[in-house]
Structure 1
Amino acid sequence: MDKVTRVASENGIVIFSKSSCCLCYTVSFLFKELGFNPLVYDIDCDPEGREMEKAIMRLGCNVPVPAVFIGGKLLGSTNEIMSLHLSGALIPMLKPYQALN
C-alpha cells in the first residue's frame, strides 16, 4: 500500500497499468491526446506488483488496472475516467498539472 500511495502522491497524474492491458493503453492515450503526460507505472514490471494490485483494490478501485490517480487521489478505472471525460469534468481536474508536463 505504501508504494502505491507514495508513487501516486509524488506525481501529479499517475496511471497504474499493465504492459499488456489494452484498456490501460486506451486511458493513457486519452490523457496524452488531451495534452497531459501521465506517469504510467507498469505494475507487472515491478517485483511488488501483486501487492500493489491488492493495495489498489483496497483503496476502492473495482479492478487493479488501469487505476488513475490525480494529485494523489484515486479517481478510478476506465469507466470512471471515461465518464468524467464525457461529462466535461476531467479536464478541469487535470488543469493544475498542465504546467508539470
Structure 2
Amino acid sequence: MAQAKQTVQKYIDENKVVVFSKSYCPYCNATKQTLNGLGAEYLAIELDQRDDGSALQDALEEISGQRTVPNSYIARKHIGGNSDLQALLKSGELEKLLKDAGALKA
C-alpha cells in the first residue's frame, strides 16, 4: 500500500493537472472532454488499464477520502469528481485554477 500511495502522490506532485480515471467511465470521459475543450494540459491515469490500478484507487481513497473516479487534482489541490469539475466550469473558476496552475496554453 505504501508503494501505491507514493505513486499516486508522485503523480499529484509532478503534474499540473491529473485525472485518475477509468477508460470506460462516462463521468471520466466527460471530465476529460471538458479539459480538452478548454485546451488544458493534463495527465490521465487510466486505473482500469494498469496492473496496480486497484491499489492506486485504494491509495486515492486514503489521500483524498474519495474512492470514485474521476478523481481530479489541479496544482496538487483535490478537485473531486466530474460534478465538482463541472460546477467549477459553470462558475468560471475552473479556467482560473487551470491558468494559475500553468495548465492552459495561453
So what's the TM-score if we normalise by structure 2? 0.85
- SS of 1:98 mapped into structure 2: coil
2:60 aligned with 1:73, yes or no? no
- Tell me the CA shift for residue 9 of structure 1: 1.2
What is the letter of the counterpart of residue 19 of structure 2? I
2:10 aligned with 1:6, yes or no? yes
- Normalized per residue, the structure richer in helix is 2
For residues 42 and 97 of structure 2, what CA distance do their matches in structure 1 show?
13
Tell me, which stretches of 5 or more residues in structure 2 are unaligned? none
CA RMSD of aligned residues (A): 1.6
What is the letter of the counterpart of residue 90 of structure 1? L
Q: Pick the aligned partner of 2:52 from 48, 52, 77.
A: 48
What is the letter of the counterpart of residue 88 of structure 1? G
- Tell me the CA shift for residue 37 of structure 1: 2.6
2:50 aligned with 1:16, yes or no? no
2:90 is aligned to 86
What is the count of residue pairs matched by the alignment?
Answer: 100
What is the letter of the counterpart of residue 97 of structure 1? A
Q: Deviations over 1:2-50 (max 9, x none)?
A: 1111011111111111111111011000001011131111011111111
Q: Deviations over 1:75-97 (max 9, x none)?
A: 11112111111111110000022
For residues 89 and 52 of structure 1, what CA distance do their matches in structure 2 show?
28
- Tell me the CA shift for residue 60 of structure 1: 2.7
For residues 45 and 63 of structure 2, what CA distance do their matches in structure 1 show?
17
So what's the TM-score if we normalise by structure 1? 0.88
Tell me, which stretches of 5 or more residues in structure 1 are unaligned? none
For residues 94 and 72 of structure 1, what CA distance do their matches in structure 2 show?
11
Alpha carbons 1:61, 1:76 under 8 Å: kept: no
